[in-house]
Amino acid sequence: MMSGAAVIPGTGNYITVSEVSKIYRNGTADAVEAVSSVSFEVKKGEFVAILGPSGCGKSTLMMMVGGLEKATSGAISVAGTAMTGPRTDIGIMFQDATLLPWKSAVENVLFPVRVLKRPIDTYWDAAHALLDKVGLNGFAGKKPHELSGGMRQRVAICRTLVYEPELLLMDEPFSALDAITRDEMNELLLDLWQQYTKTALFVTHSIREAVLLADRVLVMTRRPATIVEDLTMPFARPRTPAIGDSREFNEICAHLRRRIEHSHFGERHGSAAALAPAEAAE
């Protein structure tokens, strides 16, 4: 079933998703097919963005790659090992990243270290360095309610990075932010990414965000989700958000938008409407 099981570091596929489907069964009555026979591969060090309308199964796919949900059929491997449950080499940033309200920013950043029962002292400096890097020096001792929404997201990014997971799974990490803060977060993530160069899967509704950040963009269709486009971005790194002004960038965005619209043509919910709120926020 699984292709490319043996992985040589630096080459080959790092993530292999092979004909994966997910059917949610709530009792016997209403089964929901959230993901339908999805296959794709990600190389080590690659940043892959997944675009798709709301409810098409993106979070479900991310949960399966992160070992938090079981696939109904098909196989997923990361770093040559089949996913059977959560793993410490995978860091996940969820759609609604919540911090522990009674803990300070730095304690929140160190939370995964505590969960993994690793020595806090070893990661203390790294946690502070990360907070500095995201512009939160001086805020390490603040509680979440003393921070803005954008600051809380930055703490959440630091929390995902603190124990240096090899794979980052980010599920619409910036969707709750206003457009300007979101642009700032994109720039920050671009910088962090270029320093850490981990492998990443990044789910978003925003075409521009995907094209700016990713090496490859996958387009998923409406439920049951399948992948209808796998496009390699032609932009060299390091990148800056200024590439968003280029003609090539905008042509790629237009192509992806058409691709998404085309893939939904004739379907019940339509497509432009499905992407409109997120696009309008850009």
Ligand X SMILES: Nc1ncnc2c1ncn2[C@@H]1O[C@H](COP(=O)(O)OP(=O)(O)OP(=O)(O)O)[C@@H](O)[C@H]1O
Q: How far apart are CA 185 and CA 3, in angstroms?
A: 36
Partner whose binding site includes residue 165, from Mg ion, ligand X, none (CB under 5 to 8 Å by kind): none
Nearer to ligand X by C-beta: 39 or 54? 54
Partner whose binding site includes residue 13, from ligand X, Mg ion, none (CB under 5 to 8 Å by kind): none
User: Are 16 and 8 contacting, i.e. CB atoms less than 8 angstroms apart?
Assistant: no
> Which residues from 223-242 bind ligand X, rule CB under 6 A?
223
Nearer to ligand X by C-beta: 37 or 54? 54
User: Are 90 and 98 contacting, i.e. CB atoms less than 8 angstroms apart?
Assistant: no
Instruction: List, in order, residues 6 or more apart from 276 with CB less than 8 Å away.
Output: none
Nearer to Mg ion by C-beta: 37 or 54? 54
Q: The tokens of 104 are what? A: 């300070």
Contact status: 60 vs ligand X (CB under 6 A): yes
Tokens 């109904």: give the residue.
Answer: 72
Q: How far apart are CA 50 and CA 201, in angstroms?
A: 7
- Give me the 7-46 binding string for ligand X, x by CB under 6 A, dash otherwise: -----------------x-x-----x-x------------
User: Are 116 and 104 contacting, i.e. CB atoms less than 8 angstroms apart?
Assistant: no
Partner whose binding site includes residue 56, from ligand X, Mg ion, none (CB under 5 to 8 Å by kind): ligand X
The only residue of 37, 39, 59, 181 in contact with ligand X, by rule CB under 6 A: 59
Q: DSSP secondary-structure letter at 6?
A: S
Partner whose binding site includes residue 32, from ligand X, Mg ion, none (CB under 5 to 8 Å by kind): ligand X
Tokens 């509704």: give the residue.
Answer: 205
Partner whose binding site includes residue 55, from ligand X, Mg ion, none (CB under 5 to 8 Å by kind): ligand X
The only residue of 19, 24, 43, 59 in contact with Mg ion, by rule CB under 5 A: 59
Q: The tokens of 70 are what? A: 């079981």
Contact status: 37 vs Mg ion (CB under 5 A): no
> Which residues from 79-108 bind ligand X, rule CB under 6 A?
95
Q: The tokens of 276 are what? A: 């409109």
The only residue of 57, 66, 165, 173 in contact with ligand X, by rule CB under 6 A: 57
Helix, strand, coil percentages, rounded to 5, for the chain: 35, 25, 40
Contact status: 175 vs Mg ion (CB under 5 A): no
Partner whose binding site includes residue 26, from Mg ion, ligand X, none (CB under 5 to 8 Å by kind): ligand X
Nearer to Mg ion by C-beta: 107 or 171? 171
Partner whose binding site includes residue 11, from ligand X, Mg ion, none (CB under 5 to 8 Å by kind): none
Classify the C-alpha dihedral 94-100-106-107 as positive or negative.
negative
Computed over its alpha carbons, how large is the radius of gyration of the chain?
A: 19
Q: How far apart are CA 71 and CA 81, in angstroms?
A: 15
Residues found near Mg ion in the complex (CB under 5 A)? 59
Residues found near ligand X in the complex (CB under 6 A)? 24, 26, 32, 34, 52, 54-60, 95, 223
